Amino acid sequence: MHAGKITKKFRTRGEEGIPSASFFYNGMEAERFCEWLADLAEKSLICEVDATPKPGLVDRENSGAHNDMDRAMFLRSARALRGFFRQCAEIGAACGAATEETFAVNPVETPANNPAKASEAEPRLRVLAGKLRRAGLQGEAAMYAVTGGVNTHKGLIFSLGILCAACGIMAGSKSRPDAGLSPKDAPLPGDTPPSNEMPMFDEADLQRTCARIAKALFCGQTRCGDAEERDEAQGAERAVTGTEPTHGQLVFQRTGIGGIKEEAASGFSTAFEKGLPQLRKALSEGASMNDALVETLLHLLAETDDSNVVYRGGREGLEFVQDRARALLQSGEPVRSQRGLEAVRTLDREFTRRNLSPGGCADLLAITAMLYFVTASAEV
């Protein structure tokens, strides 16, 4: 991977002392890099809603178990959120590229493995969390403005906001002089960008960085005792977007199923460890992006305790969703075949009739798509 070009120039925004950074990373100037991440986040939302058929969910054929939203609304919401995703990327990039006096976050130097970094990292992550919370409220307002108050993407404002900020931190931190990069190794503006075989991010580092940001949002600090973390995690989604309890929070209070708070605190482990390998496998075998996403969704349905399903159908509804998805995957009929897709449409009718909408798995599918895009190459 190319080293990022080193520069000490900052465009100060004047908010809480954290400047906006100017740097080059994998051939992209900071401003273009943040635009690129925003493009991919919007693209991920569009890929998720357009993947068809999806049991119980909005897609190109119908609105599933939803009578208050449709594909056009999801597309409006995705467009409206593009600026929010860029803002999260800018927040992360500025913090990552700042000098040690301002933020100096190294994703692999966590308080757990480098106690000397704990005292300086904690207040800086709290600053980052505060900026992301404010950005999240603005993103939520932008979504509601174009949906008439309907929640299309609240969970993904939280999740993809963290992911964009994590990518920004990693890009910015790899461009700092104290990160061990040499200016003579850096590409000049206009140099040929990396090939399609050149990964943009190390996946393990990206997952750890997402987890650190999520825990800072939950706890207001990077180190929380277990009891404190459990208490604060009940307001996980609310840490970024709003004050009213979400369906996921209510399910957590009633059943202990963590939903997005556990997923984010783990650095989106389900998306990294289940969704992403399955999506890559299907695509490598020649599936179209649409069919690969549908197949990936079925695997997520079979293995995920979806809090949205539990909210609508209780434990019985969750068991039904998981059992039906497993049965379809084990039927021997390839999901990406015409007969397989017709079986998914049958599942769609069954979920809709029972008013079951696996919105948590839909969010995981969008996160998986985003991970695929940002880890694949510099040119997607």
Q: Pick the closest to residue 267 from 162, 128, 146 (CA basis).
A: 162
Say if 139 falls within a structural domain. yes
- Determine the pLDDT at residue 368: 98
Distance (Å, whole) CA 306 – CA 258 = 9
- Determine the pLDDT at residue 119: 43
- Determine the pLDDT at residue 94: 84
Q: Pick the closest to residue 281 from 342, 340, 336, 358 (CA basis).
A: 336
Distance (Å, whole) CA 1 – CA 281 = 24
- If residue 150 lies in a helix (H) or strand (E), which one and from where to where? none
Distance (Å, whole) CA 221 – CA 123 = 7
E strand segments, the chain: 10-11, 20-21, 24-25, 28-29
Say if 24 falls within a structural domain. yes
Cβ-count burial of 12 within 10 angstroms (0-12 exposed, 13-18 middle, 19+ buried)? Answer: exposed
How many domains does one find in the chain?
1
- Determine the pLDDT at residue 360: 94
- Determine the pLDDT at residue 24: 65
Cβ-count burial of 320 within 10 angstroms (0-12 exposed, 13-18 middle, 19+ buried)? Answer: middle
- Determine the pLDDT at residue 37: 93
Distance (Å, whole) CA 124 – CA 132 = 12
Say if 279 falls within a structural domain. no
Say if 310 falls within a structural domain. no
Count of other CB atoms within 10 angstroms of residue 226: 7
Say if 56 falls within a structural domain. yes
- Determine the pLDDT at residue 262: 84
Please compute Rg for the chain using Cα positions.
20
Range of the domain at 140: 10-267
- If residue 207 lies in a helix (H) or strand (E), which one and from where to where? helix 203-219
Count of other CB atoms within 10 angstroms of residue 314: 14
How much of the chain is helix, strand and coil, in % rounded to 5? 65, 0, 35
Dihedral sign of CA atoms 141, 249, 87, 133 in order? positive
10-residue mean pLDDT profile of the chain (380 residues): values are 29 38 68 91 97 97 96 98 96 72 42 44 75 95 97 95 93 57 32 43 90 83 39 42 53 52 91 97 95 97 93 91 96 88 96 96 97 72
Say if 131 falls within a structural domain. yes
